[in-house]
Structure 1
Amino acid sequence: MKVSEDIKLVLQNLSAEPGVYHFYDAKEALLYIGKAKNLKRRVSSYFNRKHDSFKTTYMVRKIHRIETLVVDTEMDALLLENNLIKKYQPRYNILLKDDKTYPWICITNDSLPKVYQTRKIEKGKGQYFGPYINSEIIKTLIDFCSELFYTEGWTPNKYLNRIALNDDEVLNYNEIIIEFKMLLKGNTQALIDKLIRDRNNFSQKMQYEKAHVVNQKINILKKYQHKSVIVSPTINDVDVFSIVSDQDYAYVNFFKVSNGAIIQAHPMEIKKKLDETNEELLSMAITEIRQRFHSTSKEALLNISIDSKWKNLKISVPKIGDKYKLVNLCFKNAKNIQKDRIRKNEELRHRLDKKRVLEQLQHDLRLSLKPRHIECFDNSNIQGTNPVAACVVFKNAKPSKKDYRLFNIKTVSGPDDFASMEEVVYRRYKRLMNEGQDLPQLIIIDGGKGQLSSALKSLEKLNLHDSIAIIGIAKRLEEIYFPNDSVPLYLDKRSQSLKVIQELRNEAHRFSINHHRNRRSKNSLGTSLDNIFGIGPKTVDTLISHFGSVKRVLEAQEDELTKLVGKRKADLILERKNLK
């Protein structure tokens, strides 16, 4: 699947943290909202593999813009995804029912508090903990709460019916509830340690089914997150703003919280004109965003302190608790907006640098076209053995490794670099023409006038000599040769043009040498065994696997060889050994 350069840049710079992603089409319509444990890996997977579903394939083709929100945990991503899908109902999402909620644990405000599971939050009834991804986690926690009472001597009847016979029992009951609240606030390790002891005891008694049940509870608790600011009963209808800035820009992130849940997020980038302070810029952003989204919230949570200029709007900068965590999450996303802008600026500078390099190369080599697509060839052989060649490709002054090609020389015998170059250049461009692929604007030959003339012959055979520029570079003095011109060009050693040409030449040489070494190694391994008449590839594999190398095969005793491959083949190997 062809991916646009803008999307490629976004994928390269995505965070590896948990979060939620939005896909938009060219008309800015929201296509899909998804969650991810690792944003970079998950979002990239849409573009680097084939999808079984036609619906998914069609959606990916329509993606024009990607937006992400970073959160702290995978559970936060799940909850935020749920909230946003309900609000926006993107076309390609399975729509969630409006009454879909997550379970909580409620501890009532009674003198003897009741502990129970609920999906409905009733204000003033008690303290709520959660939300939880599933009921299994809640069951494990409530079971543990029961065990806390039973270990203190409470009977199931007294605990479940909350029967306290005296003041001491009332005090003990509430002390146990306080311990359980501490557990729900994050101290799960005590529970996990106890369950591990229970599991080990069951295992020692060979009660493996019970041990398995306890082990499942341990695994659930290890994944458990006790609290999420994505959905919180302690935060109602508020606007959350965070700002971060640098010399040229300010970056503001906005969360809309309604009924305890984040239902909207919006990033804003502000170009500084004068020396505006963060306070001034944030005031402007709050006014703009609240008007744009028709916000009527009476409280705004910020990461910096500013004077309130709005009627009926309370401004606060929380320092602790859920509100602080929410502001911190908002600030984290503002920082991500800033990082994204910095990366884009760096990429833009990089592109401009590459553009200038190509313009300079065009000028220095007197080319009619800007050489966006350059190919470089190099030969490699030792005294004519195992001759190979390589072609490396640069596009927009960067290596395009998927387009690199290797060649085994087929029509040339002996050490003839000129004929080898003529062969590979002809094969390369004959194939590109047959397949209707794009041709380069510039060809570089690693070698002097001889190799260049040979390559030019192939272009003339293909009638390409007038449409593709070709040069040769001689290593010793870095001389640049042009067709039908005996006088070389010497570029300044500090020239960017020369550096690009050298980079191409060195890359082609590296690629060619590696291929030559691999081929030579493969052939040298086979000369001692593969060429023995009567010894086939399977026998060679058996021998090498057993002895480890050709040398050890030839050093082996007759009885060892006979036992492994039989007497007839052992005699053939020993005969070759004696000839050596």
Structure 2
Amino acid sequence: MTAFDSKAFLKSLSTHPGVYRMYDESNQLLYIGKAKNLKNRVSSYFRSSGLSGKTQALVQQIHHIEFTVTSSETEALLLEQTQIKNHRPPFNILMRDDKSYPYIFISASDYPQIEYSRGKKKRAGQYYGPYPNSNAVKETLSLLHKVFKLRQCDDNFFKNRSRPCLQHQISRCSAPCVAIISQEDYLKDVAAAQMFLRGQSSELLEQLQQKMDLAAEALNFENAAHLRDQLIQLRKIQEQQYVYGEQGDADVFALASRPGGIAVSVLFVRAGRVLGSRHYFPTDQLSDSHNETLEAFISQFYLASEGREIPAELITNLEISDPQPLIDAVQLLHKKRVTVSHQVRAYRARWLQLAITNAEQALISHLARKGTFEARFKALKQVLGLNFQPERLECFDISHSSGEATVASCVVMGKEGPIKSEYRKFNIEGIQAGDDYAAMKQALTRRYERLQKGEGKKPDILILDGGKGQLKQAQEVFKALAVTDVILLAVSKGTTRKQGFETLYLETTDQVFDLSSDSKALHLIEQVRDESHRFAIINHRHKRDKTRRTSGFESIPGIGPKRRQAILRFFGGQREALNASIQELAKVPGISAALAEQIYNHLHPEQ
């Protein structure tokens, strides 16, 4: 490779704001950056000392640099994030966060429906959030159903009811479908729920207290009792919530660093309520400055992701030297004015401290896990006698119920753990029921025929949950597709069928070996095998239950109609029962501790 002539390039480089793109010898894009002064910024990559190892690795690969001059730094920031999103260069911070955030949605209708929502906001109504994960939404919805009894059913179900459904019988809906509650009273409950979601808890409690007193004075004791119950529930909720401020929307960013990595935690605060947090572990940061890394992260968080809700204030634990380009870019792109704060006081300082604590704890856990995986990958290389260090494992498993609803799973494991964004499921069709070999062959073919088109990634090692038969299927598929340089490893349960005593088949059925139960390599193989098994079971059950139109409760061994009814009556609904722990399930009359554990494991195969 011819060395890049940086001196000649820099002589003619503009001093205006703009975006620069660095390419390697094969014209592959390596890095995209923005600059207030292109010449000064690009020159910093070619100084004689003070460069990090990652920056040096980038500079060594540079073959040529292209640039685009812009009229302002704000315009450069917008262009940079658009190009990062489109090209995803390997040396840029990559969010790897493809999932949209969940919301609570209240429809705009005569009798509004309240429900979980994810994705684009296309429907008429009010969206509340975002929430950091689906569990946070489900917990909030469960509380709202108990307190305000708003309908959950869709419009078709609602319009065709002639009598109240189970949700009304377990006091989770006021049954507006059959006019048990008037439209006026129902809309009052909707308004109260909206106040709660906006964080106006104190005002709501005061209003309910006044209404209860008036109802009692008017001798309307039934309504007064209803309002009393709402007050009691809301006060309990208020006591349990982690609330520092009475108002305010903010996203709080905290970056924590340790030798070996960094973590960025984002704390979501809406209407003064802390809804939760998400943690990110950027592995591709190029800047030597944590302040610049955090600034780049925040820029991509809002400017390179569609549908991101932006609060009025962004709070950071590290100072952003010049936040104005980010503020202007957000206003141009999202038509939203924001402020960026670093030094905050009172409850906002406590939000920031909570985010810092989350980032530090998340990083400690991440680094411990990362170290464990790296040690296991090294052990696997040694055990298999490889002349290279494997970095990507893929594993397949088949799941079905006596041939019904056959599903194949593919999970991906890297040196830092599971790569869940690359997991895939395959609905198997057109084979004889129960033929695991044909199912495996179909899944492998569908997965790896993309390699012939130059698409997809090739694993270093392919692990198959099965024995000689499954290994043979993989060999036939790879031969037909002309896929080479992939090591095949089949895992059989062995004669004892106990974990830790598996038999391994490498490449051919002639290379059979066992590993000791304390082997780190075996632990890695078992982990990816178990993860594949878990993912296959989850998707099989979803497919089977959808086909049968049954809930997960109806397929639990040993649980008949009476016990199902007892569980639902005890918890008040299926959602609440799904969120119950083993100890809570054991409190249900007729459910022993052993049966509670069986029920929990069936409903939560991923845990």
Same fold per TM (> 0.5)? no
Question: Could you say which TM-score interval applies, normalised by the shorter chain?
Answer: 0.3 to 0.5
TM-score of the two chains, using structure 2 as the length reference: 0.33
TM-score between both structures, scaled by the size of structure 1: 0.34
Higher relative contact order (CA closer than 8 Å, sequence separation 6+) = 2
Q: Whose radius of gyration is greater, 1 or 2?
A: 1
